[in-house]
């Protein structure tokens, strides 16, 4: 499926697809995201790397309007959110945590239901996106009988319904076997090749290193480092760099 008008970024090539400034989220006395300044350039695969509970998902949830930020500013595709969230999200596809579906419906009907909320053109893309993620032959089976890998792929298909410029995938490799992870990696790289930006969160160092062009290391709600993966590692492995950064104590 060729990247349509929505995939051609609405922002200039020098602008960021995602930008946050001083973004924080507190749950009572616990700070889940702490004063984060994040910058995601367009047309790349961007990895948010951190252990479980580091704050990656909370950061994503704030960007997508699933939970309000406690403080700070955010821009999605150059648009300020929450002020222009609806416009921004019309060009975003996202999976947060495990993709949810109605198990009693087929994969195709789940996409039909999802397309109802994504504009008229989305319905016309259902067959193409099913084909794209390799689920065309199982599209009429009930989702209740899908494996986790198939549900992840159906989740990606749902993300593609609005021909997004930006895909945000929260732990897309979770629960996948090695072949599934390889397929997911290839799919993500193909989106980048089309000019889309993919932001993925992961706790799998190897996966981020193999998939992403740019990464940010997240720990205890903070971004410890961000930049092109090659520069970030500085000749070492990403694992070595990650352990070096996350073993240092944080200062307020």
Partner 1 sequence: MDTYRMIGAELLKLRRRSLVAWTGVLTLGASVAFVVFNAIRHRADPTHYGPAGGATNLQHAALVLRYLGTVAAVLVGTTAGGQDRASGMFRDLVTTGTSRRTLFLVRLPAALAFYLVWFLPAYTIAAVASIGLAGPLPAPHWRLLVQFGLGVGVSTTVDVVLAVGMAATLGSRSVATGILLGWELAFSRLLEHVNSFGSLRQLLTTSAVDRIFPALGEPRVVPMTALTAGLVLTGWAVLIITTGTWRTATRDA
Q: Does the protein bind partner 1 through residue 78 (CB under 8 A)?
A: no
Stretch that binds partner 1, among 84-92, 126-134, 194-202, 209-217 (CB under 8 A): 84-92
Stretch that binds partner 1, among 114-122, 176-184, 187-195, 231-239 (CB under 8 A): 114-122
Which one of residues 38, 54, 77, 114 is an interface residue with partner 1 (CB under 8 A)? 114
Which one of residues 18, 89, 212, 223 is an interface residue with partner 1 (CB under 8 A)? 89
Shortest distance, CB of residue 167 to partner 1, whole angstroms?
A: 11
Judge whether 86 and 238 are in contact, CB under 8 Å: no
CA atoms of 239 and 205, how far apart (whole Å): 6
Q: Does the protein bind partner 1 through residue 83 (CB under 8 A)?
A: no
Kindly state the tokens that stand for 17. 């697809």
Burial 82-110 (b: 16+ CB within 10 A, else e): eeebeebbebbbbbbeebebeeeebbbbb
Stretch that binds partner 1, among 28-36, 79-87, 204-212, 223-231 (CB under 8 A): 79-87
Residue ranges in 52-71 that form contacts with partner 1 under rule CB under 8 A: 61, 64-67
Identify the three-state secondary structure at position 12: coil
Shortest distance, CB of residue 119 to partner 1, whole angstroms?
A: 7
Residue ranges in 140-199 that form contacts with partner 1 under rule CB under 8 A: 158, 162
Q: Does the protein bind partner 1 through residue 87 (CB under 8 A)?
A: yes
Strand partners, 36: 23
CA atoms of 101 and 154, how far apart (whole Å): 9
Q: Does the protein bind partner 1 through residue 94 (CB under 8 A)?
A: yes
Alpha helices in the chain (DSSP H): 56-63, 85-89, 107-115, 120-124, 126-132, 148-160, 178-193, 205-211, 229-233, 238-246
- DSSP letters for 155-181: HHHHHHTT--SEEEEESTTTT--HHHH
Shortest distance, CB of residue 89 to partner 1, whole angstroms?
A: 3
Q: Which is nearer to partner 1, 113 or 236 (CB)?
A: 113
Residues contributing to the site for partner 1 (CB under 8 A): 61, 64-67, 85-90, 92, 94-105, 109, 112-120, 123, 158, 162
């Amino acid at each position: 499926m060729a990247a349509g008008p929505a995939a051609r970024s609405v922002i200039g090539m020098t602008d960021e697809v995602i930008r946050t400034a001083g973004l924080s989220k507190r749950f009572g006395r616990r700070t889940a995201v702490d004063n984060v300044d994040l910058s995601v350039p367009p047309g790349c695969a961007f990895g948010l790397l951190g252990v479980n509970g580091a704050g990656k998902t909370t950061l994503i949830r704030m960007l997508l309007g699933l939970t309000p930020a406690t403080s700070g500013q955010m821009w999605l595709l150059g648009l300020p959110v929450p002020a222009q969230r609806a416009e921004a999200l019309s060009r975003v596809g996202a999976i947060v945590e495990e993709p949810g579906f109605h198990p009693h419906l087929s994969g195709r009907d789940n996409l039909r239901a999802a397309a109802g909320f994504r504009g008229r053109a989305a319905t016309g893309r259902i067959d193409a996106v099913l084909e794209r993620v390799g689920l065309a032959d199982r599209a009429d089976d009930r989702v209740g009988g899908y494996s986790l890998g198939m549900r992840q792929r159906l989740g990606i298909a749902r993300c593609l319904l609005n021909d997004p410029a930006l895909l945000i995938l929260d732990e897309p490799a979770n629960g996948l076997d090695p072949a599934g992870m390889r397929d997911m990696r290839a799919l993500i790289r193909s989106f980048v090749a089309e000019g889309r930006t993919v932001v993925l969160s992961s706790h799998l160092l190897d996966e981020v290193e193999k998939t992403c062009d740019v990464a940010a290391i997240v720990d205890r709600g903070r971004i410890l480092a961000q930049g092109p993966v090659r520069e970030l590692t500085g000749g070492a492995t990403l694992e070595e760099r990650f352990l070096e950064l996350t073993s240092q104590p944080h200062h307020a």
